[in-house]
Amino acid sequence: MQTLQQKKQKLFIVSEVIGKIRSYGGDFVEYDNSAGTFQKVSEKMAFKTVGRGFHYIYQSQYRSSIENQKRQHVIQRQHEDETILQIMNSNKRVNTIMNCVSEKIQSNEDTISDENFERIFMLANMNILKELKESQCDKTFLQACNE
């Protein structure tokens, strides 16, 4: 949350930018369709326009920006994926199940039906989930994700 001092500083900067633009003979306008001409905008609209410009430039630095939230989500997901991979690789039973499925699929690659393929993977997934629950990896996973 911004402090009152930070808000005052931002308003001062926006005001300075507007003043500088006007000191060079510039202004803030918008096209009026009915008149077919450009009209000056209100002081409030000029402040909003400049403020939005700064927000756009610095949006990646705002914790609340959508881009920043997406970036944080990707980082969190990568961390979770790495944690899952570590848990999976450290569990011998899970590795055995995965190797068994891999060998079975590779040895019957040309003859295995889609139905058998799905059945093998479903059974493997069920066994892996059962093993992970029994080994209480969910606690390990939650602890690792919270680090």
In angstroms, the Cα distances linking 95 to 12, 18, 56 are 62, 64, 48
User: What is the predicted pLDDT for the residue at 24?
Assistant: 93
* Owner of token pair 């756009």: 56
> DSSP state, 41?
P
Q: pLDDT tens for residues 4-58? A: 788 888 889 999 999 999 999 999 999 988 998 999 999 999 999 998 888 777 7
At residue 145, does pLDDT exceed 60?
A: no
Angle at alpha carbon of residue 113, lines to 110 and 119, rounded to 5°: 125
Q: Could you report the per-residue pLDDT of 65-89, keeping only the tens digit for each?
A: 677 778 888 988 898 888 878 877 8
Pick from 135, 79, 127, 130: which is nearest to 99 by CA?
A: 127
